[in-house]
Structure 1
Amino acid sequence: MSSLERSSNCLSVALALACAAACGQPPAANPAPASMSAMLNVGAPAPPIRATNWLNGKAVQIERQADSPVIVLTFVDTSAGPSRGALPALSALQERERQRGLICIAVTDEPTAEVQKFIEHTRPPLTIRVAIDDQGATAHAYCAAIGINFRPYSFIVARDGTIAWHGHPQQPELVQYVEQLLSGKYNLEQAREAVHRALTTEQLETVFREAYASQSWGTALLALDRLLEAGAPKDRLLRYKLAILLGEQRDQAAARALVAEVLKNYSANARLLNSLAWDVVSTDRLYFQDPEIGLQLSQAAYRASGGQDPAVLDTYARALHLLGRLDLAIAVQEKAVRLATDPERQVFQERLAFYRRCQALQANLTAEP
């Protein structure tokens, strides 16, 4: 066994022990989370949707008939970025598969007026129904029953009214099992195993949170790598990894290697590239380590979006401002303002005004004040 293999093996053992300790149980080959309820295992009857109001469409009830729709039920918090990021893909999925009998529903316990405003301002328009949860009863019946306390989180309900799969809405398995259900090729045991594997990643999440809180950066990075290998949603994990490498460990070489990998593998993912770019250009402890990384990521996001996403333009303008190119920053920010809608437009206008003030001050500067 090479030194690299020995190191990897030791780290794996350490992670397994840390995982078991964090979860309060002895190590096991494939431990199931203690919070997993047999009542809501894959194949169990799906609880009813208890809603005080329905927005963006008629009420839907879970039925158990051969011609019932396949339902993707996603619990969200529309004020938070992760949920906002997941909803457009669910809306697009429903539009693609509507004729085959798919309905996507978002469930939230937020005030109706706030959710309605969110729907009205979402672009492209949100087409999925939104159920206003009845005092959290639906979330309790689904999420709390399996120990899930974060958003977004999705459940697929089969035509016979049973739970076919559950997990993060950005996991590729969601689309995979929707397709299987719609085409009659669904495999119950395969889905159960997939959910079990995904749930065990919750232990890795626990290890990561513990390591991050204690500033054990090596363990945190290992947990992130294991989560990435397990197919967990990449956006958040890659953002954490870059922040640790660049801001905490100050390992410029490793950070640049990660960015090179991201630019190679996700060159068309404007949302991911922009998130990483914004983290760098808006955080001093990251930007001061390597301003070139912020510029590279913001330029890549611009190219991936075709220069038509106002959030991406806003990020690129900030990168240009930080490099002293106020003329270019103002031009890009002006375009961001033109393309944006409220309330985003107001924030972008304030930044544009700031850049213009900086430019005016710059014009009167001399070497000796």
Structure 2
Amino acid sequence: MRSIPHLNELSLKYKTKGLVIMGISDETMGKVKPFVTKKGSAMSYPVAIDTSEKATTKNWREAAKQDGIPCAFVVRDSKIVWIGNPLDPKFDEVVVGTLTGRYNPDLNKRAEPLLRAAKDAVRIKNFKDAWKHYDDVIALDPKVFGAVSVLKYKTMLLDAKDPTGANAWGLQVCSASSADAVTLAELATLIVTDSAIAQPDYTLAETAATAALKAAPSPASKALLAEVNFKAGDAEKAAALQFEAWMAADPSEKAAFKSVLDQYKKSSAAKAKL
């Protein structure tokens, strides 16, 4: 029962990203249907009822030796990648990582000591070693560790205070990760939203956002490109891009897209009067 609000939140947040949540109940139809109906929009994901022989319970939960309820199975490409309580803090990380293709427990274990070494190297300003450790992690799998590529950019810019090197690395990421929309979007988002970056490299951000849109066209990626243009001072172009994103957005997301569009239009109109 306590997991329902959280599962519903995840379902609404990530359904346009491909997440499908399905509840399985071992109760009767007479109990389940009124319960789900009463919940309404607070339980927007589908709920199935186990067979009278409890086949699903036996083949999944009992086969996995899971005695506790609730119990969640995260499945991708017909393979179970994680089993546990949906209230476990790790559950969200697994869900998001699975959606983006970044969840890989084996590689994460191999990367842990390298990331610790990189963190220690940054702390003592031994950036040469830090870059090597980051690169070793990225080499394990550039997509799984796309966030490390973005972290390296941020570290070069803010800790090493090397904007030239950071720009060169950012362009390298845009090229090497041209098919990885998640990493490209993270790089662009970091540049335009991190308040610690005093002089954002909007040109690099636009390069990354444009590449993300090309790699995975979606309302979200178009909205990101709109945001980059808005932050760079081109409210008119931002409004045009955001309009396209709003028109293509899922009905459940249209209000949020429209709110941003109105902001861009207002700013564009104000600049036109100057």
User: For this structure pair, what is the TM-score category when the shorter chain's length is used for normalisation?
Assistant: 0.5 to 0.7
RMSD of the alignment, in Å?
Answer: 3.8
Contact 2:71 2:83 in 1 (8 A): no
Contact 1:278 1:294 in 2 (8 A): yes
Q: TM-score with structure 1 length normalisation? A: 0.48
Counterpart-to-counterpart distance in 1, 2:258 and 2:206: 22
Give the counterpart of 2:201 among 282, 290, 295: 290
Q: Residue 5 of structure 2: SS of its match in structure 1?
A: helix
Give the counterpart of 1:202 among 99, 112, 119: 112
Alignment of 1:330 with 2:239, yes or no, is yes
Contact 1:217 1:249 in 2 (8 A): no
Higher helix share: 2
Alignment of 1:265 with 2:176, yes or no, is yes
Contact 2:131 2:152 in 1 (8 A): yes
Q: Write the mapping of 1:118-157 to structure 2, written as runs, cut at 5 A.
A: 118-119=10-11, 122-123=15-16, 125-127=18-20, 134=68, 150=90, 152-153=93-94
What is the CA-CA distance between 1:346 and the residue it aligns to? Answer: 3.5
What is the CA-CA distance between 1:293 and the residue it aligns to? Answer: 0.9
What is the CA-CA distance between 1:319 and the residue it aligns to? Answer: 1.6
2:79 equivalent in structure 1: none
Counterpart-to-counterpart distance in 2, 1:289 and 1:282: 9
Moved more, 335-344 or 230-239: 335-344
CA separation of 1:324 and 1:125: change in aligned 2, threshold 3 A = closer
Q: Write the mapping of 1:341-356 to structure 2, written as runs, cut at 5 A.
A: 341=250, 344-356=253-265
Q: Percent identity?
A: 19
Contact 1:298 1:312 in 2 (8 A): yes
Counterpart-to-counterpart distance in 2, 1:343 and 1:207: 43
Counterpart-to-counterpart distance in 2, 1:126 and 1:318: 25
Counterpart-to-counterpart distance in 2, 1:205 and 1:120: 33
Letter in 1 for 2:202: P
CA separation of 1:330 and 1:273: change in aligned 2, threshold 3 A = same
CA separation of 1:285 and 1:117: change in aligned 2, threshold 3 A = closer
What is the CA-CA distance between 1:251 and the residue it aligns to? Answer: 1.8
2:230 equivalent in structure 1: 321
Q: Which runs of 5+ in 2 are unaligned?
A: 26-65, 74-81
Give the counterpart of 2:148 among 217, 234, 237: 237
Contact 1:217 1:244 in 2 (8 A): no
Letter in 2 for 1:318: E
1:86 equivalent in structure 2: none
Counterpart-to-counterpart distance in 1, 2:102 and 2:70: 25
What is the CA-CA distance between 1:172 and the residue it aligns to? Answer: 9.1
Q: Write the mapping of 1:44-59 to structure 2, written as runs, cut at 5 A.
A: none
Q: Residue 123 of structure 1: SS of its match in structure 2?
A: helix
Contact 2:125 2:160 in 1 (8 A): no
Q: TM-score with structure 2 length normalisation? A: 0.62
2:248 equivalent in structure 1: 339
Counterpart-to-counterpart distance in 1, 2:70 and 2:239: 45
Give the counterpart of 2:215 among 290, 304, 322: 304
